[in-house]
Amino acid sequence: MSAETGWRTLRVEVAPHSRDAVIAALFAGGAQGIHDEGSAVMTSVDAGFDVHALAAAARDAGAAATSVTDTPVIDWSEAWKDRIGSHELGPLVVAPPWLAGGFDPATTIVIEPGMAFGTGEHATTRGVVRLLAGVLRKGDRVADLGAGSAVLAIAAAKLGASRVSAIEIDPDAIGNAEENVVRNGVSDVVTVIEGDAALLLPLVKPVRVILANIISSVLVQLLPVIGDALDVDGHAILSGVLQEERDELVALLERSGWHVQAEDREDIWWSGVIARR
């Protein structure tokens, strides 16, 4: 057995009439847990455990056949990276550092996954980035509410914004956001600000574009502040809205003097571009 192997898995083929006896024999022989897989049961034991004696006990109890395989040790400190990919979203790409090398740095947003929300893995983030390319004009001033990792603020900077205020209330997210801003070379455009968006947005107005990837109940509360902070021809991109909430939110927006100009849907999530009538 190689040095890379720390566990061994015993697979035991059983007939219905001997199943209970075989499982009892496995537990009596030292198995700590049993996984049921159709006509077989499986158990994993430490490499130092006598798995062949356990297999013999299973056969004595009526097992039809047994097989043993080595189970590689998994370095979970690295394996989690396999769950994070790169995402091509219109003219931009969002990627973690270990996948960013194959893309153009000018149009790639490199995000180091951390405690802050926003790696490109969530549909709400992707929806805002896709819509942003059709709204932002070169030189625009932008506010990103609930900035998280600052992925959306960085996207705005990469698309040509002249100033972006990334507002985030969670102090644990601030360090990750600031690191991502520096990593992407947009420190001269993006400023990360810790605090409540309802209080801080009036201090950075006027802006032409507001990004708000927040749950719908908070979006509704922020609408008056968003409206007051936008330029006359300004737009807000809302996300974090479930598709089942879309109709109710759009009706409220229309009653409040807004109209929806563009929409994006992915999985169970809805994102939309809104402007005042």
Q: Which of 16, 49, 73 is the last residue of a domain?
A: 73
- Name the more confident of 198 and 83: 198
What is the C-alpha to C-alpha distance for residues 249 and 233, in angstroms, rounded to an integer? 22
**Chain mean pLDDT for the chain:** 89
Residues 259 and 199 in one domain: yes
What is the C-alpha to C-alpha distance for residues 196 and 205, in angstroms, rounded to an integer? 15
Residues 120 and 140 in one domain: yes
- What SS3 state is found at 98? helix
Of the candidates 276, 275, 277, the residue with the CA atom closest to the CA atom of residue 131: 275
pLDDT digits (tens, 9 = 90+) for 136-161: 999 999 999 999 999 999 999 999 99
The CATH number for 33's domain is: 3.30.70.1150
Is pLDDT of 71 > 50? yes
Residues 194 and 262 in one domain: yes
Confidence of residue 36 (pLDDT cuts 50, 70, 90): confident
Residues 58 and 99 in one domain: no
Residues 141 and 59 in one domain: no
Percent of the chain with pLDDT over 70: 91
Residues 124 and 240 in one domain: yes
As a whole number, mean pLDDT of residues 46-63 equals: 89
Please list, in sequence order, all residues whose beta carbon lies within 8 angstroms of the beta carbon of residue 21, skipping any fewer than 6 positions away. Answer: 61, 62
Domains of the chain: total = 2
The CATH number for 186's domain is: 3.40.50.150
pLDDT digits (tens, 9 = 90+) for 213-243: 998 899 999 999 999 999 999 999 999 999 9
pLDDT at 72: 62
Q: Is 201 left (phi over 0), alpha (psi -120 to 50) or beta?
A: alpha
Give the C-alpha distances (Å, rounded to integers) separating 36 from 12, 20, 43, 63, 71. 10, 12, 9, 14, 18
What is the C-alpha to C-alpha distance for residues 41 and 23, in angstroms, rounded to an integer? 8
pLDDT digits (tens, 9 = 90+) for 74-85: 554 454 455 577
What is the C-alpha to C-alpha distance for residues 236 and 201, in angstroms, rounded to an integer? 13
Is pLDDT of 1 > 70? no
Is pLDDT of 15 > 70? yes
What is the C-alpha to C-alpha distance for residues 4 and 117, in angstroms, rounded to an integer? 34
Question: Side by side, which strands form the sheet with 163-168?
Answer: 190-194, 163-168, 141-145, 207-213, 230-242, 269-276, 258-266
- Residue 252 Cα to chain centre, angstroms: 29
pLDDT digits (tens, 9 = 90+) for 82-140: 557 788 889 999 998 888 888 999 999 998 876 556 667 789 999 999 999 999 999 99
Residues 94 and 210 in one domain: yes
- Name the more confident of 49 and 85: 49
Total residues found in the chain within this entry: 277
pLDDT at 73: 58
Is pLDDT of 2 > 60? no
pLDDT at 126: 93
pLDDT at 75: 52
- What SS3 state is found at 222? helix
pLDDT at 115: 55
Residues 59 and 93 in one domain: no
Residues 108 and 235 in one domain: yes
Give the C-alpha distances (Å, rounded to integers) separating 100 from 64, 158, 170, 247, 264. 51, 15, 27, 38, 25
Q: And the tokens for 262?
A: 């563009």
Residues 266 and 137 in one domain: yes
Q: And the tokens for 87?
A: 């995402």
pLDDT digits (tens, 9 = 90+) for 161-180: 999 999 999 999 999 999 99
pLDDT at 79: 45
Residues spanned by the domain of 162 = 82-276
Beta bridge partners of 258: 276
pLDDT at 4: 46
Cβ neighbour number for residue 262 with a 10 Å cutoff: 15
Of the candidates 108, 133, 162, 118, the residue with the CA atom closest to the CA atom of residue 237: 133
